[in-house]
Amino acid sequence: MENIFAHQVIPEDTVTYEIYRVPDDKAQGADPLPSPADLLTQVETLLAPYTADYLWQKAPFHLTAHPDGPGRAFRPVLSGRTAFGDCLEDEWFIVFLLRRLSTAYPQLAVTVTDSDGQFLLIEAAEAIPEWLTPQNSAHRVYLYRGDLHIIQSGTSSADHGTEGTDLTLSEGLTVLATEPSATRASDAVQRAVFSRLVDYPRAIRTHNQFRTRCYVPHRVAHLLYHQPQLLAAAVEAFYLRDPVALRLCRDMRQFPPASGVLATVRWTRTMYAQTVGQAFVLPKIFDSDDSDGASRTIPTEREREVGAKLACGFEIVCRGRDLTDPGLPDQLHTEAAERRQATRWEEYRQRLEDKGYFGDERPGSQLYQAKETAARNEFERRMAPPSGTEQRSPDDLDAGDTTICQIHGLLQQPLVPVDTLMADLIPKDDSDAWMYVHPDHLDEVLRKQQENVDRLKESEAFEAVGASQSRTHAVPTGPELSEAFNMADMVDQFQAFLDRDAGLAGAEFESERSDSEGSNADDEETEWGDLPSQPPFGSSVVEGGSPDAPISFDPTLFFATLERALATPATDTSREPTGKRVQFAKAESEPEDPELGLDTVMGAMDSELAGTKVGESFERRPTATADAEEMDAPVDVDLNLVKNILASFKAQQGLP
């Protein structure tokens, strides 16, 4: 039971890092470490040159010191967690910082994981040992003295060759301290893991210093001049906007467009792509040419559009709050305290209910309300702080309220003069060529990807690590490649499916059949055929298996299952029909015309449609002679089917 909460669930798009003291650091000839609080100050000073002007997508790199004490020998001395959102550069920048820290302090070992687990191992999937899997990698992977170390020991340094066994944190740190040369990962693993960090710290400027000119309200320019990190909140608010939030942009009460000025805005590549890539119809208030004349340069259409998106983002961030109200911070703290109090009361009331405090009384009854009132009074009496001891902390507010308080505080200052903004105005935007992929570059990327696929098809190590991880940049494994879709087979299966007839009742699913139908076994075998039990839609499921096990998709089995579920008998005369067919007797007065069949009717319809735009939209087979009439060429049914499938897939963005 003591390990029931041992596994910590990391939120998505979040990286967690913990810094441990390596045992017997004095024996290694290194200086003893200071207290955790002093160590935190030293680490912040060490990393400040890299983080000072860095723009974070969601949250900054942040460390918390944990005081020493009894029982904390193998507990982290520093730890932190950062949400990086859509910006993977933030995650790898943090890896760079942690690696720099481990180099400067050889007495410290660092672990870093995200919602995918040991993402450093995923990066080196081609080179890691075959025995290393997500199931046994806990407490085995460390950043130590600037390198990646993988602990192979099961219990102690004496048997550190034992593979695949569980390892405790104390065992891992002990082996790391006594045998650092034996635990250092191979050069191939080092190159694969740190390949993204080759250009650091120079890459910080490349990816985090993108500058453009934007026509924004004077208040927005003032905020970004003093606190560039506020850009992240505005971009996220605009990027995740909803119709309710957009109502705030109709009036732009806090950031009126009429006060627009040209200013230099510094972005990250991710933020800029999120903003520019969004299709957005500007509110009518931005159509007005009314201006107070603050801007001395005529902005371009692009500068206006991007600036309007930023202004809308800031308006959404402020949630309709009155930024001129001097009591706004107090109001935000009061509301936050009320929310915390309401949450605590609900937890307290639930505990009382679980202990039988309300007895058999129904909620809302007179006696229930009386007991609830008495409990509420007692709760407030216990939770009320002593008079004069109320203290407020920035940590009391959530991220949104904290941002509003920052904006409110900055707007209490005089706005930055336009002359100052114009002095910092860059002559032109930085190149955004990185947003566009040249065909030659795309071919090179695909070629390298194919080379990786060819190598990974033969790599059991990748299947051991990669098959259990869900990561967007993972490439298919060998079995997945062998089951890749064959477009020609798919067309044949669609054609065979469409050539079949439906029964009188239409599509009939087995789950909807009555018990009486299921009791007649002989009829079922003759009318439906002997239907073997198969997993739905061609998925391979092992009975009793883990729900997290990978699913393999078989297109052939999918169509076979679909045909059986729909009970669609074949029209091919060479096979017996498998569905229920009903023939209606013709009326005696109905003339029989054996020449006028379905093929004749369809042919006439094709001829009638040939000259219309519908006919022109079909893909046709190439004719034998160059001077043949294009409209006389037969329609390539298979090509049209594939084209329509792919168009549908694209329109649905890969969703069902």
pLDDT computed for residue 161 by the predictor: 43
Task: Judge whether residue 41 has pLDDT over 50.
Answer: yes
pLDDT computed for residue 163 by the predictor: 53
Question: Model confidence over 532-562: pLDDT tens digits?
Answer: 444 444 444 444 444 455 555 566 666 666 5
- Nearest CA-CA partner of 208 in 90, 308, 31: 90
Would you place residue 343 in the very low, low, confident or very high pLDDT band (cuts 50, 70, 90)?
Answer: confident
The edge-to-edge listing of strands for the beta sheet with 14-21 is: 64-65, 78-83, 14-21, 108-114, 141-144, 147-150
pLDDT computed for residue 117 by the predictor: 87
pLDDT computed for residue 527 by the predictor: 39
Which residues are CB-neighbours of 617 under 8 A, at least 6 positions away?
A: none
pLDDT computed for residue 7 by the predictor: 47
Whether residue 110 contacts residue 19, with contact meaning beta carbons closer than 8 Å, is answered with yes
d(CA 547, CA 504): 38
pLDDT computed for residue 555 by the predictor: 63
Task: Judge whether residue 521 has pLDDT over 50.
Answer: no
Q: pLDDT: is 164 or 94 the higher one? A: 94
d(CA 166, CA 155): 8
d(CA 252, CA 37): 45
Q: Give CA separation, 538 vs 65, 131, 330, 409, 522, in Å.
A: 52, 31, 60, 60, 27
DSSP string, 532-568: ----GGGB---TT--TTS---B-HHHHHHHHHHHHT-
Please state at what angle helix 328-354 crosses helix 366-383, rounded to 10 degrees: 120
Question: Model confidence over 374-400: pLDDT tens digits?
Answer: 888 888 777 766 544 455 555 567 677
Task: Judge whether residue 55 has pLDDT over 60.
Answer: yes
Across 408-414, average pLDDT: 90
pLDDT computed for residue 149 by the predictor: 94
Across 286-314, average pLDDT: 81
Write the secondary structure of 456-508 as one string of H (helix), E (strand) and C (coil). Answer: HCCCHHHHHHHCCCCCCCCCCCHHHHHCCCCHHHHHHHHHHHHCCCCCCCCCC
Would you place residue 516 in the very low, low, confident or very high pLDDT band (cuts 50, 70, 90)?
Answer: very low
Which residues are CB-neighbours of 203 under 8 A, at least 6 positions away?
A: none
pLDDT computed for residue 120 by the predictor: 92
pLDDT computed for residue 568 by the predictor: 46
Task: Judge whether residue 71 has pLDDT over 90.
Answer: no
Question: Model confidence over 420-435: pLDDT tens digits?
Answer: 999 999 999 998 888 8
Q: pLDDT: is 209 or 638 the higher one? A: 209
Mean of the per-residue pLDDT values of the chain:
75
Across 272-285, average pLDDT: 91
pLDDT computed for residue 2 by the predictor: 37
Across 228-236, average pLDDT: 94
**Which region, left, alpha or beta, applies to residue 524 given φ > 0 means left and ψ of -120 to 50 means alpha?**
alpha
Q: 117 forms bridges with which residues in the sheet?
A: 114
User: What is the CA angle 407-412-417, rounded to 5?
Assistant: 95
User: What is the CA angle 443-449-450, rounded to 5?
Assistant: 90
pLDDT computed for residue 460 by the predictor: 46
Token pair for 46: 């060490």
Task: Judge whether residue 258 has pLDDT over 80.
Answer: yes
Would you place residue 46 in the very low, low, confident or very high pLDDT band (cuts 50, 70, 90)?
Answer: very high
pLDDT computed for residue 642 by the predictor: 72
Task: Judge whether residue 519 has pLDDT over 80.
Answer: no
Would you place residue 314 in the very low, low, confident or very high pLDDT band (cuts 50, 70, 90)?
Answer: very high
Task: Judge whether residue 472 has pLDDT over 50.
Answer: no
Would you place residue 168 in the very low, low, confident or very high pLDDT band (cuts 50, 70, 90)?
Answer: confident
Across 315-343, average pLDDT: 81
Task: Judge whether residue 529 has pLDDT over 50.
Answer: no
Task: Judge whether residue 233 has pLDDT over 80.
Answer: yes
Percent helix, strand and coil across the chain, each to the nearest 5: 45, 10, 45
Question: Model confidence over 604-655: pLDDT tens digits?
Answer: 777 777 667 666 666 666 655 544 445 555 666 667 777 777 777 666 555 5
Please give the helix or strand (H or E) that residue 365 lies within, else none.
none
Across 87-99, average pLDDT: 94
Would you place residue 19 in the very low, low, confident or very high pLDDT band (cuts 50, 70, 90)?
Answer: very high
pLDDT computed for residue 562 by the predictor: 58
Write the secondary structure of 183-220 as one string of H (helix), E (strand) and C (coil). Answer: HECCHHHHHHHCHHHCCCCHHHHHHHCEEEEEEEEHHH
| pLDDT > 70 in the chain, percent | 63
d(CA 23, CA 77): 13
- Strands 78-83 and 14-21: what pairing? antiparallel
Grouping H, G, I as helix, E, B as strand and the rest as coil, residue 117 is strand
d(CA 642, CA 449): 25
Point out the least confidently predicted range of 121-135, 159-173, 223-237.
159-173
Across 135-153, average pLDDT: 88
Across 178-202, average pLDDT: 89
